[in-house]
Copies of this chain bind each other. A is one copy, B any other.
Amino acid sequence: MYIPTLDDMLAARTRIAPHVHVTPVLTSRFINELTGAELFFKCENLQKAGAFKARGASNAVFGLTDEQAARGVATHSSGNHGSCLAYAAGRRGIPCTVVMPRTAPQAKKDAVRGYGARVVECEPSTTSREAVFAEVVAETGAEFVHPYNDWRVIAGQATCSAELIEQVAGLDAVVAPIGGGGMVSGTCLTLSNLAPKTRVFAAEPLNADDAARSFRAGHIIADDAPETVADGLKVPLKELTWHFVQNHVADVLTATEDEIVEAMKLIWKRMKIVMEPSSAVPLATIIKNRDIFAGQRVGIIITGGNVDLDRLPWM
């Protein structure tokens, strides 16, 4: 297992610069007063393809040799990684196949196709997904880019907090949502090297708290199909992301479904940005853990903005 290094992040930053935005950092006096902390929201919802995953996907795609690239890339994802890989492959002009459950929302399939990639449907089960995905790879020879358990992807996600610490000096902490742990791992990679005094917290829905339980148990615990409004955070840790969580995360904090939706609405209302329920989990945990964050300068990763406007959680 190769653990990505600071040099990998620096190389990723140069490699992906033409293909991703340096996203803005927003603040809200109202939310600062509410939490007693000084919060800096790193807006990856304004990233290309609407999510931080454009970083890792671009790093993987543009790091391929021409020979590899000619065979294309493939992944399985019903979320942002699929559309972000499609985006990156489209930028390089190479084939991309995304295996998605046939039950995935039409909008998600349309997004992948909108970037010029191919959607191959599977049944909504791990067995079917793995079988269909194996067929795709056998048929195309495509390079598999895992949504998070991939050092190239983690090195790409790590560029986000490299920007953040240039945009905001003296952060005491950064809080990022955790699902599979790609963003948290990237954050750990960058901050442990470039800002070792800045603590990294992972924020997770209580309904899908496998990372919190893993963290306390000292080994990976994977849940089977947890249900949460923060649908980007259902997937379990894997070896590579567990390495970073285990070694560099200060704590994994959780929030209830109601707390997540309330924090989401607060951000929409006060900050005027469209973001996913997953992205609201950090603020939800900061609001309920005033003792940890009050008086501190805290970065929050707003991970993505791809939400179904016809099915908002408060509708």
Interface residues in chain A, defined as those with a beta carbon under 8 Å from any beta carbon in chain B: 24, 26, 43, 45-46, 50, 265, 268-269, 271-275, 305, 309-310, 312, 314-315
Chain B residues with CB below 8 A from A310, complex form: 314
> How far is A45 from B26 in the complex, measured between Cα atoms in Å?
12
Q: A46-B26, A314-B310 are in contact. Are A272 and B275 (CB under 8 A)?
A: yes
- In the A-B complex, list the 3 residue pairs whose CB atoms are closest, starting with the nearest: A272-B305, A272-B274, A45-B272
Q: Are A50 and B272 in contact (CB under 8 A)?
A: yes
Q: A24-B24, A46-B26, A309-B265 are in contact. Are A272 and B273 (CB under 8 A)?
A: yes
A-B contact pairs, 22 of them (CB 8 A): A24-B24, A26-B46, A43-B272, A45-B272, A46-B271, A46-B272, A50-B272, A265-B309, A269-B274, A269-B309, A271-B274, A272-B273, A272-B274, A272-B275, A272-B305, A273-B273, A273-B274, A309-B312, A309-B314, A310-B314, A312-B312, A315-B315
How many monomers of this protein are in the complex?
2
> How far is A271 from B275 in the complex, measured between Cα atoms in Å?
11
> How far is A134 from B272 in the complex, measured between Cα atoms in Å?
35
A71 to chain B, nearest CB (A): 27
Chain B residues with CB below 8 A from A274, complex form: 268-269, 271-274
Chain B residues with CB below 8 A from A314, complex form: 309-310
> How far is A45 from B310 in the complex, measured between Cα atoms in Å?
22
A264 to chain B, nearest CB (A): 10
Chain B residues with CB below 8 A from A273, complex form: 272-274
Chain B residues with CB below 8 A from A50, complex form: 272
Chain B residues with CB below 8 A from A312, complex form: 309, 312
A262 to chain B, nearest CB (A): 12
Chain B residues with CB below 8 A from A26, complex form: 46
Most-contacted residue by chain B among A43, A45, A309 (CB, 10 A): A309
> How far is A312 from B45 in the complex, measured between Cα atoms in Å?
20
